[in-house]
Amino acid sequence: MNKIEVWKKYELFELFNDLDTAQKILSEIQGGYSGKFISAEDFCKAFEEELDDLKHQNVPDFRQICIWFAPTSAWDDFVGFEGMELANRILGRADRWNKTHL
């Protein structure tokens, strides 16, 4: 399989689209607290740095994304129920990729 076929099989195009959507949502949230993040702005900055790194990796490593988007983690703390469907899609695709490529 070539790289495009692999990305289609593991829905990485959709995963990166969802991660871009998550970044937009996070950029509109202020305040709050979650674990090591003192605010939504702090989480957003870390998320943007991670996303930028992922976009430049030949074989993306989504382990940090899986941690942040797991139930009751940072994403859930800052976005809440409204972001659950998006988080589930991101976590599912990222976890599937990690299990087969890392």
Three-state SS across 11-42? CHHHHHHHHHHHHHHHHCCCCCCECCECCHHH
Q: What is the DSSP letter of 43?
A: H
CB 25 within 8 A of CB 96: no
Evaluated on CA atoms 26, 85, 101, 20, the torsion sign reads negative
Which pLDDT does position 102 carry in this prediction?
Answer: 79
Which pLDDT does position 32 carry in this prediction?
Answer: 93
Average pLDDT, the chain: 96
* pLDDT above 90: residue 49: yes
- pLDDT per position as a tens digit, 78-87: 999 999 999 9
Which pLDDT does position 99 carry in this prediction?
Answer: 96
- pLDDT per position as a tens digit, 2-40: 989 999 999 999 999 999 999 999 999 999 999 899 999
